[in-house]
Amino acid sequence: MTPIRKDLVERKISLIQDDLEKLSRLKDFSLNEIVSDFMKQATVERLLERIISRAIDINEHIIAEQATAETSPPKNYRETFLRLVELKIYPIDFAENIAKSVGTRNLLVHEYNKIDYERVYSSIKDCLKDYHIYINYILKYID
């Protein structure tokens, strides 16, 4: 095991916090208000993608640095959230809940021509709630 690069994790967390603050400005708009305004729609999509992708980066870094010879790499991005349970960073129920956000990220990254905007819209409040909790768990772990 090698030490976790606290500076890297803290920088990514800071970027996530900035994006969460920006996303919170859009949480009170209706689905129709977001979908009918290209700028709001594009902003929501990009912020969600960046928040989730940065958390995946953090997960992968922690897993790589804490790995032993017996540790197998995560099979997918969803599994990166689940692996943090093994490191006692957070409980399994939280891991299973936040890991669902990977589906939103994959939808935005890979299926941008046929996005389910109701799903994206419902992800806003989930993301705001879950990623504030995620940040607290990660900061506690690296301290």
Instruction: List, by residue number, the catalytic residues.
Output: 105, 110
Classify residue 112 as exposed, middle or buried by CB count within 10 Å of its CB (0-12, 13-18, 19+): exposed
What are phi and psi for residue 80, nearest 5 degrees?
-60, -35
Structure tokens at 38: 């290209």
Separation of alpha carbons 9 and 82, rounded Å? 18
Other Cβ atoms less than 10 A from the Cβ of 105: the count is 20
DSSP annotation of 3 reads: -
